[in-house]
Amino acid sequence: MNTPPALAEALADGTVVLDGGLSNQLAAAGHDLSDALWSARLLAEDPEAVTAAHLAYFEAGADVAITASYQATFEGFARRGIGREGAADLLALSVECARTAARRTGVTRPLWVAASVGPYGAMLADGSEYRGRYGLSVAELERFHRPRMEVLAGAAPDVLALETIPDTEEAEALLRALRGLGVPAWLSYSASGDRTRAGQPLEEAFALAARADEVIAVGVNCCTPEDADRAVTLAARVTGKPVVVYPNSGEAWDAGARAWTGRSTFSAGRVKGWRESGARLIGGCCRVGPGTIASVASALRTP
pLDDT of residue 114: 98
Please give the mean pLDDT across all residues of the chain: 93
pLDDT of residue 2: 58
Is the confidence at residue 294, as pLDDT, over 60?
yes
pLDDT of residue 128: 86
pLDDT of residue 31: 84
Rounded to an integer, the average pLDDT of 48-59 is 97
Rounded to an integer, the average pLDDT of 117-145 is 93
Core vs surface per residue 240-264: b (16+ CB within 10 A) or e: ebbbbbbbbbbbebeeeeeebeeee
Name which residue leads in pLDDT, 36 or 66: 66
Distance CA 51, CA 100 (A): 7
The amino acid at residue 216 is I
Confidence of residue 58 (pLDDT cuts 50, 70, 90): very high
The CA-based angle 301-302-303, given to 5 degrees, is: 110
The H or E element that residue 25 is part of is helix 22-28
Name which residue leads in pLDDT, 80 or 245: 245
Cβ contact 100:47 at 8 Å = no
Distance CA 195, CA 47 (A): 36
Rounded to an integer, the average pLDDT of 33-41 is 77
Structure confidence by residue, pLDDT tens digits, 21-31 = 999 999 898 88
Distance CA 161, CA 98 (A): 14
Structure confidence by residue, pLDDT tens digits, 147-185 = 999 999 999 999 999 999 999 999 999 999 999 999 999
Confidence of residue 210 (pLDDT cuts 50, 70, 90): very high
The amino acid at residue 301 is R
Is the confidence at residue 103, as pLDDT, over 80?
yes
